[in-house]
Amino acid sequence: MNKHVQILLDGKGTIPIKEKYRWRQSWRFPRYVEEWFKEFCSHGHSLNVCCGRSNIGDVRIDLDPNSTATIISPYHKLPLEDCTFDRVMSDPPWYIPFFHRMWPFYELVRVCKVGGLVAYNATWIPASKSVALMDTYVRQDTDFGIASIVSVFQKYTSRFDKKSGGLTFEEVCPIDELQETLS
Ligand SMILES: C[S@@+](CC[C@H](N)C(=O)[O-])C[C@H]1O[C@@H](n2cnc3c(N)ncnc32)[C@H](O)[C@@H]1O
């Protein structure tokens, strides 16, 4: 198990997050987005990764001890079983570098049940061999403001769960690089 997750599960401390990836008020979902995700998560057992201050999701994950997380964990190594959730949502920090976007998404897919849905809010559209893209919604809260895309995927196979996206963890990105968000 990842040593940082181990530390947290032992209750011995928290993981410091780099300043630029730390939650700020401007990252809080506006009400209409919160309502959309609330409805999305109201179908079966649900997970919210990078939950921030949102209460949506039966299980919520974040690194910030001041968040609404029910489990403090880094998003690239979820301490959760394969194929557990009907609905999985995530609103990751939008500054994460290109090569840090893949494995955390594969983790969302891994813990989603076959037939379940994953909704992802970012300025990019992720991909995995295990899911089909069902819908995309463009979200822009203010005129001339930054736009993001809420992409919705359905998982159709668990074949790649142990080798998410068809690649191993080490092939996608070495763990040290994935911990870029951590101090
Ligand atoms: C865009 S914010 C989520 C905001 C949320 N939708 C809300 O309404 O409050 C992204 C979240 O990711 C968390 N985060 C940053 N790096 C992380 C990591 N490596 N693992 C897990 N969570 C992380 C931050 O603490 C922050 O709460």
The secondary structure of the chain, three-state, reads CCHHHHHHHCCCCCCCECHHHCCCHHHCCCHHHHHHHHHHCCCCCEEEECCCCCCCCCEEEECCCCCCCCEECCCCCCCCCCCCEEEEEECCCCCCCHHHCHHHHHHHHHHEEEEEEEEEEECCCCCCCCEEEEEEEEEECCCCCCEEEEEEEEECCCCCCCCHHHCCHHHHCCHHHHHHHEC
Given a contact cutoff of 8 angstroms between Cβ atoms, the answer to whether 69 and 171 are in contact is no
- In this prediction the pTM is 0.88
CA distances from 49 to 107, 145, 147 (A): 10, 24, 20
Residues framing ligand 1 (Cβ under 6 A): 17, 21-23, 27-29, 50, 52-54, 62-64, 67, 74-75, 91-93, 181
* Ligand 1 center–CA 167 separation, angstroms: 25
Q: Which residue's CA is the nearest one to ligand 1's atom 5?
A: 52
The pLDDT assigned to 144 comes to 95
* Amino acid, single-letter form, for residue 180: E
Cα of 67 from ligand 1 centre, angstroms: 8
Closest CA to 48 of 22, 81, 78, 16: 78
User: How far is residue 172's CA from residue 161's CA, in Å, rounded to a whole number?
Assistant: 14
Q: What pLDDT, on the 0 to 100 scale, is given for residue 171?
A: 65
Query: For each successive 10 residues of the chain (183 residues), what is the average pLDDT?
Result: 38 66 92 97 98 97 93 91 96 90 93 97 96 96 94 93 65 57 61
- Distance of alpha carbon 88 from alpha carbon 95, whole angstroms: 21
CB 52 within 8 A of CB 68: yes
Instruction: Report the residue among 8, 14, 17 best suited for mutation to probe ligand 1: largest number of ligand atoms under 8 A from its CB.
Output: 17
Residue 10: the pLDDT is 37
Q: Residue 120: how many CB atoms within 10 A of its CB?
A: 25
Which domains, ranges and CATH numbers included, belong to the chain?
Answer: 6-182 (3.40.50.150)
62 Cα to the center of ligand 1, angstroms: 6
Q: What is the CA(51)–ligand 1 centre distance, in A?
A: 6
Which atom of ligand 1 lies closest to the CA of 21? 15
Residue nearest to atom 27 of ligand 1 (CA): 52
What pLDDT does residue 99 have? Answer: 83
Residue 156: alpha-carbon gap to chain centroid: 19
